[in-house]
């Protein structure tokens, strides 16, 4: 290792959690070394510049929150634009606005009023009412009826999970929001947008003036790296940290196929979902629309769901009873350790970006200000 300096903190992972932790520690006079196995900072928020377009290399990242303090916090590093997430679903060539709202209901049935839409949904869903739905399909049908389920939910969900909806537990869909207004804004949060210039501006701002080493495999040099600092902050997979002592935690994976197209506008929207089961990808992103780009060419990404393995990047934790119980074993072991565990992989939970920022801020406040 090139470093011989002693630090207060070794932070494993240059994603949002590690970057916020490092920034807050530095503000309080602490020294940090951040290492990451990838060749870039920012974790999954990393943007790759292609044809002068900020391409979300690991899938769409749209920052949204109701917490003004967190919104102001990230905007201190980079101004955010006014992007509003309004995805579209493509089913057999027909387009439907998402989330399910009056525009969607008009596209499905030609209805013009909330009363008409409610009547159709109630008529379709009441025949599927069950005391205890046995699976996701029964649950969804009982909530929204056949048309919405078969056209906009079933195929997409089965592709995401790699299993039939009848084999998925009902708790995956606890509720399906139905909006009886003409409102295509996917999120209900007060604040949303994309950093102007891409997420690298945010992670770069957070890590400014902090020692960062990239392309470093922590586990290949763990003893030497740990010896560089008084305390370690670990943001990677908690099961890997403990050498899979209680078994591997399961994740769903994703594959991203990026393509440069010689057109200035391929689909007219940043996100279009493909809800048919026989189309292998779940959605197509057109990245220039995240920042209202006017470039002569465009870059699209087809997103394919994968069953994660130790060789694939883990994305979504599979929080069923088996995996949650396994995680609790790791969590209990970690509670007796001096290492700080934080972030979606270390805590085995799905985090939106504002939640990651909030968790890191809460941890540093507790650690330094109490």
Active site residues: 175, 179, 252, 283, 303, 350, 352
Rounded distance between C-alpha atoms, residue 142 and residue 126, angstroms: 7
Q: Are 196 and 164 in contact (CB under 8 A)?
A: no
C-alpha closest to that of 25 among 44, 5, 10, 6 = 10
Q: Which two tokens stand for residue 257?
A: 């196929």
Question: Cβ-count burial of 110 within 10 angstroms (0-12 exposed, 13-18 middle, 19+ buried)?
Answer: exposed
The DSSP string of 67-98 is: -HHHHHHHHTTS-B-------EEEETTEEEES
Rounded distance between C-alpha atoms, residue 319 and residue 113, angstroms: 39
**40: three-class secondary structure by DSSP:** coil
Query: Alpha helices of the chain — where are they, by DSSP H?
Result: 16-27, 68-75, 102-109, 114-126, 136-144, 146-148, 154-161, 199-206, 222-226, 238-241, 321-335, 344-347, 353-369
Rounded distance between C-alpha atoms, residue 279 and residue 108, angstroms: 21
């Amino acid at each position: 290792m090139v470093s011989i300096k002693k630090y207060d903190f070794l932070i494993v992972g240059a994603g949002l959690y590690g970057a916020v932790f490092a920034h807050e520690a530095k503000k309080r006079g602490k020294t940090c070394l951040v290492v990451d196995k990838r060749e870039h900072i920012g974790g999954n928020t990393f943007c790759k510049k292609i044809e002068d377009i900020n391409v979300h290399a690991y899938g769409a990242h749209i920052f949204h929150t109701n917490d003004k303090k967190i919104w102001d916090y990230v905007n201190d590093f980079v101004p955010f634009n006014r992007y509003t997430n309004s995805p579209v679903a493509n089913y057999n060539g027909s387009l439907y606005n998402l989330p399910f709202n009056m525009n969607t209901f008009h596209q499905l049935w030609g209805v013009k009023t909330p009363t008409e839409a409610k009547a159709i949904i109630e008529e379709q869903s009441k025949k599927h009412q069950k005391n205890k739905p046995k699976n996701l399909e029964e649950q969804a049908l009982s909530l929204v009826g056949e048309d919405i389920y078969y056209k906009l939910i079933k195929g997409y969900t089965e592709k995401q999970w790699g299993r039939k909806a009848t084999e998925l537990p009902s708790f995956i869909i606890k509720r399906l929001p139905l909006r009886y207004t003409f409102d295509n804004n996917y999120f209900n949060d007060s604040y949303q947008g994309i950093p102007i210039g891409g997420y690298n501006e945010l992670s770069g701002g957070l890590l400014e003036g902090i020692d960062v080493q990239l392309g470093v495999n922590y586990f290949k040099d763990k003893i030497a790296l740990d010896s560089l600092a008084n305390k370690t902050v670990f943001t990677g997979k908690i099961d890997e940290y403990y050498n899979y002592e209680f078994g591997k935690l399961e994740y769903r994976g994703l594959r991203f196929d990026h393509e440069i197209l010689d057109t200035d506008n391929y689909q007219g929207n940043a996100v279009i979902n493909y809800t048919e089961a026989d189309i292998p990808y779940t959605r197509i992103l057109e990245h220039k629309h995240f920042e209202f780009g006017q470039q002569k060419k465009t870059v699209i990404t087809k997103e394919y769901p994968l069953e994660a393995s130790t060789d694939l990047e883990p994305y979504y934790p599979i929080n069923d009873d088996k995996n949650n119980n396994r995680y609790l074993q790791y969590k209990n072991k970690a509670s007796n350790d001096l290492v700080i565990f934080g972030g979606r992989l270390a805590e085995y939970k799905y985090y939106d970006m504002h939640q990651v920022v909030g968790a890191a801020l809460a941890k540093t406040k507790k650690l330094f200000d109490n």
